[in-house]
Structure 1
Amino acid sequence: MRLKSIPFENHQLNLDIKEGDKPFVVVYCQGEAKLTYLPEHGETKVITHQGKVKRVKFDEGEEF
């Protein structure tokens, strides 16, 4: 699974961003936060339903 849970305390997220220059997104819903790195070529979609995150979809490709 690409999404990694992010532990947090006292309503504060603490992220260690030592991974370098890789772009990432943080998705938060109903008291749970998850982080995922973005693909080099592609799209990342956050799908919601009734105001809640249902899934994160990745559509990757590569230049020819």
Structure 2
Amino acid sequence: MMLQDIELTSTNRLEIDIMEIPSSSVIVICDGKAKLRELPPFGEYRIVTHQGKVKRMRREEGEEF
């Protein structure tokens, strides 16, 4: 599982080398901050917002039986 805060450049640009991140991942941007999270092989990744801002990112895993 990859958890990473992404630094923005001095000009507030987001630069990411997609060859160095997991093939299934998500980038969430809120209030000038960016966070990269690897998606689980089975399950859900929920992004909870409140008043237009990201409050929580929750990983819920599961597997078919």
Is TM (by shorter chain) over 0.5?
A: yes
Distance 2:31 2:48 in 1: 15
Give the aligned partner of residue 24 of structure 1.
25
Code of the residue aligned with 2:8 in structure 1: it is F
For 1:40-55, list aligned pairs within 5 A.
40-55=41-56
Provide the TM-score with structure 1 as the length reference: 0.83
Segments of structure 2 that go 5 or more residues without pairing to the other structure are none
Kindly state the Cα deviation for residue 15 of structure 1 after the two structures are TM-superposed.
1.1
Provide the TM-score with structure 2 as the length reference: 0.82
Kindly state the Cα deviation for residue 60 of structure 1 after the two structures are TM-superposed.
0.3
Where has structure 1 moved over 4 Å in runs of 4 or more?
Answer: none
Secondary structure at the counterpart of residue 57 of structure 1: strand
Give the aligned partner of residue 7 of structure 2.
7
Secondary structure at the counterpart of residue 15 of structure 1: coil
The percent of aligned pairs where both chains have the same amino acid is 48
Name the count of aligned residue pairs.
64
